[in-house]
Structure 1
């Protein structure tokens, strides 16, 4: 992660996230939360959903994530009557 400029190490040996690392962490967390809600909404058991989400949050491409978010948003939007 240091090579990818996501973390830095100070003179005391303490690691911290860089701006890039913080942005990456936020993106992964957003995917985690969304994927969990998606799976639970589909009726998947909480324990299994947590396990599956750990895989999805790292492997789901940004393009697929955005399209799924849009689909989920449209499915949950109030319908005009």
Structure 2
């Protein structure tokens, strides 16, 4: 199932924040993405309704297995694409920005080839 780019970004952000701090709140997501708290609240309601996250009593947000799978896949694409771009001489800042856009539209065939290329050149 293909989900919207914005939802992939939210899930990836939750995944990265959880790895860094062990917990995630709406305010953490708002701060990380520079979005308003109401925007984050609306997105979290949608992600919860679609089964990608669970919200605990204290306001902590956790990825479900379904959400974690999407987040990890998006994060992996981001890492591989940015790494390859830097390998080609693109600055780190530009590579990270470009990878954030490309990670949502790249085909599985192209991504698999990029991963193989990266594995062979490391």
Q: Which structure carries more relative contact order (alpha carbon 8 Å, separation 6+)?
A: 2
| Equivalent of residue 19 in structure 1, options 41, 55, 65 | 65
Provide the residue aligned with 1:44 in structure 2: 90
- Cα deviation per residue 1:28-66 (whole Å; 9 max; x = unaligned)? 111111001110011111111111011112222333311
The structure richer in helix per residue is: 2
SS at match of 2:103: helix
Structure of higher CA gyration radius: 1
Gaps of 5+ in 2: 1-46
Residue number among 27, 31, 50 corresponding to 1:4 in the alignment:
50
1:33 aligns with 2:79: yes
Scaled by the length of structure 1, the TM-score of the pair is 0.73
SS of residue in 2 equivalent to 1:51: helix
Partners in 2 of 1:44 and 1:13 — Cα distance? 39
Question: Is contact 2:54-2:63 (8 Å) kept?
Answer: yes
Aligned-residue CA RMSD (Å): 2.1
**Structure 1 outlier segments of 4+, above 4 Å:** none
